[in-house]
Amino acid sequence: MARIALDTLGDDDRRRIDYLTAMRRLWSTEVFGRLRDEFDTLAAREGAPTTLEEAGELVERCPSYAWFGFLERGAQVLKWRVVNDVVARNWETLGEDLRPPHLARAELDPELELPGWYRDHDIHCQPGGVWGAAPSALVYEIGTQVLHIGRNRGLELHRRFTATFPGETYRRIVDMGSGFGKSTRPFKERYAEADVIGIEFSGPCVRLAATRADDDGLEITFRQGDAAATGLPDGTVDVVTGTMVLHEMPPDVLRATFAEAARILTPGGIVRFLEFSRTGDLFRDAVMEDHAWRQNEPFMPGLMEFDVVRELSAVGLAGARWVPFDERTGELLPEGFPERAEWHLPWAVLEAHKPALAASTTPPAPAEGAA
Amino acid sequence: MIDIDDVVEGSEPAFLGSATVDQLAAMVLTLGMELSVLAARVAELEGRDPATDSQSASSLLDRLFANLRPSSGHARPLVAERLDLAVRP
Ligand SMILES: C[S@@+](CC[C@H](N)C(=O)[O-])C[C@H]1O[C@@H](n2cnc3c(N)ncnc32)[C@H](O)[C@@H]1O
């Protein structure tokens, strides 16, 4: 198992990160719980909301909401400050993680022009984004280990998602928006014979992804490029996947990305993205809507409103649907999201397939829960 | 959908009534972080386990949260009163 940057930190930095993790845990349990109680009290008094807008108005009136919002944003901003400091102070050692890879490939494209919708805001409030400077990828890597309330330190979440794929073997798998390869490596681990390719806008992320894959002995190609224009030949890919990438795209880019997926897939090939969807719990969904704003995720609500059946069938992908995913167990939950007391990201898999015959809409074998 | 201009051009949002209150609260949380570093060092020096020490990050934050949260302080206390919301221990 590759070492991760977090392992190289000194004691005091580790304590700061412990503090941030504790802050996030309190926020997601106690503060969220109090907010839910207030919301329920108001709803019982004034009538339960029936639309997302009504729920949003009600949640705004809860006394703890300002505090909840402040803490969500504040923890995120403080996190990046701590992590930026850590990487800047340890750059001499950490910078070695961007060395040229041996086994994996990092295909950089210095000519690539990043679009304005990607450049113009600091996604997740990370100063300079995940692409702005050489250390950005390392800052991002450490940041993810704090963000998900301590449950996303290694590859566990991504491995659980990979375990839900229905095929025993695949020839080629493309991971769109591969970041530093956290979502890509589990595919090469499970499908060792497959040609696994990560497509990623950020050059620093492509380099770090190749190093991390190298450290794990995984031969993966990471290519700097656009998910909506991969440059791969028509009909040559069995699986198009992506984790937490679609919600970063505006609607026209989403359409172009699905059209690209349909183009490169072989007939019978599948599309499966791990993302976030509405849960049907109006309180939770209203809080999530504002989470997008608080975290500088301007396109997240757009993905949740995206008419996946209509949009994906328009580009030739059939059987589109959201399937809730329990990130703790790796279980797919076609019945819907279970009740949970704490705040959590509403993980869900967006799946579809390219029909084997032009007229067929029979889905491939349904994906069952992970082992 | 969120207007991207709000995200691109907007200043840091204020949650707690005004930007100044937010900045002060953020400073307190940052100070809390540095305090937790010092507390852990002291615990280690004195041979106590910093993870279970009463000064640990969680209990420090518990106290900070209890004192900072708006319903016990500055923002919209009237709503809390109207709702008769019991302050949780
Ligand atoms: C939240 S990160 C997730 C990274 C990785 N999939 C993971 O699970 O750790 C999203 C990544 O998608 C990349 N990205 C966003 N839009 C993209 C696009 N159109 N083409 C390529 N990469 C994109 C971003 O640069 C970022 O690294």
> For chain A (length 371 residues), average pLDDT per consecutive 10?
61 87 91 95 96 96 92 92 89 84 93 94 88 91 70 81 98 98 98 98 96 95 98 98 97 98 98 97 97 92 96 98 97 97 97 80 51 37
Confidence band (pLDDT; 50, 70, 90) for B2? low
Do the beta carbons of residue A199 and residue A230 sit within 8 Å? yes
Give pLDDT, residue B85. 41
Do the beta carbons of residue A190 and residue A163 sit within 8 Å? yes
Q: Rounded CA gap, A64 and A70, in Å?
A: 10
Question: Which positions in chain B touch A61 (Cβ < 8 Å)?
Answer: 79
Of A11, A22, A299, the CB nearest to B57: A22
Q: Which residues line ligand 1 (CB under 6 A)?
A: A 130, 177-179, 182-183, 199-202, 205, 226-228, 243-245, 248-249
Residue type, A337: F
Residue A176 Cα to ligand 1 middle (Å): 7
Segment A7-10 long-range contacts (CB within 8 Å, at least 24 positions apart): A8/A90, A8/A93, A8/A94, A9/A86, A9/A90
Confidence band (pLDDT; 50, 70, 90) for B14? confident
Confidence band (pLDDT; 50, 70, 90) for B88? very low
Give pLDDT, residue A369. 46
Q: Rounded CA gap, A187 and A165, in Å?
A: 10
Q: Rounded CA gap, A313 and A353, in Å?
A: 10
Domain encompassing residue A245 = 123-131+155-353
Tokens at A5, concatenated = 């940057």
Within 10 Å of residue A253's Cβ, how many Cβ atoms?
Answer: 18
Neighbour-count burial of A183, counting CB atoms closer than 10 A to its CB (0-12 exposed, 13-18 middle, 19+ buried): buried
Output the domain CATH number for residue A299.
3.40.50.150
Do the beta carbons of residue A225 and residue A231 sit within 8 Å? yes
Of B7, B33, B80, the CB nearest to A19: B33
A258 within some domain: yes
Tokens at A288, concatenated = 């999530």
Name the strands in the sheet holding A221-224, side by side, starting at the edge strand that comes first in the sequence.
Answer: A105-107, A221-224, A195-200, A172-176, A237-243, A265-276, A347-353, A318-326, A331-332
Residue A183 Cα to ligand 1 middle (Å): 10
Q: Higher confidence at residue B54 or residue A150?
A: B54
Do the beta carbons of residue B30 and residue A79 sit within 8 Å? no
Kindly determine whether residue A70 and residue B40, on different chains, have CB atoms separated by under 8 Å: no
Kindly determine whether residue A20 and residue B33, on different chains, have CB atoms separated by under 8 Å: yes
Question: What are φ and ψ of residue B11, in 5° steps?
Answer: -80, 175
Identify which of A107, A197, A200 to mutate to test ligand 1's pocket (most ligand atoms within 8 A of the CB): A200
Determine the 3-state secondary structure of A326 from DSSP.
strand
Question: Which positions in chain A touch B56 (Cβ < 8 Å)?
Answer: 22
Q: How big is chain A, counted in residues? A: 371
Closest of A116, A124, A122, A247 to residue A177, by C-alpha:
A247
Tokens at A200, concatenated = 């990623």
Q: Rounded CA gap, A129 and A102, in Å?
A: 27
Question: What are φ and ψ of residue A113, in 5° steps?
Answer: -100, 120
Residue A27 Cα to ligand 1 middle (Å): 26
Give pLDDT, residue A357. 66
Closest of A77, A31, A40, A21 to residue B70, by C-alpha:
A31
Q: Rounded CA gap, A6 and A143, in Å?
A: 9
Which residue is associated with the tokens 């290694």? A154
- Encode pLDDT of B62-82 as tens digits: 888 877 765 443 443 333 333
Q: Rounded CA gap, A359 and A150, in Å?
A: 47
Q: Rounded CA gap, A312 and A321, in Å?
A: 10
Extract the runs of DSSP E, i.e. beta strands, from A27-171.
105-107
Closest of A341, A340, A337 to residue A323, by C-alpha:
A337
- Does residue B35 register a pLDDT over 70? yes
**Assembly ipTM:** 0.81
The count of CB pairs under 8 A between chains A and B is 120
Domain count across chain A: 1
| C-alpha neighbours within 13 Å on the C-beta side of residue A153 | 12
Q: Rounded CA gap, A24 and A347, in Å?
A: 18
Neighbour-count burial of A326, counting CB atoms closer than 10 A to its CB (0-12 exposed, 13-18 middle, 19+ buried): middle
Question: What are φ and ψ of residue A275, in 5° steps?
Answer: -145, -160
pTM for this predicted structure: 0.90
Residue A200 Cα to ligand 1 middle (Å): 6
Give pLDDT, residue B81. 39
Angle value at C-alpha A42, between A39 and A46, nearest 5 degrees: 140
Give pLDDT, residue A15. 87
* Residue partners of A285: CB distance under 8 A and separation at least 6: A52, A55, A278, A279, A346
Closest of A63, A21, A20 to residue B16, by C-alpha:
A63
Confidence band (pLDDT; 50, 70, 90) for B43? confident
Average pLDDT estimate for B20-27:
88
* DSSP 8-state symbol, A248: G
Q: Rounded CA gap, A54 and B30, in Å?
A: 35
Chain A touched by B53 (CB under 8 Å): no
- Delimit the domains of chain B by residue range: 15-83
Q: Rounded CA gap, A209 and A175, in Å?
A: 12
Pairing mode, if any, of strands A221-224 and A105-107? Answer: parallel
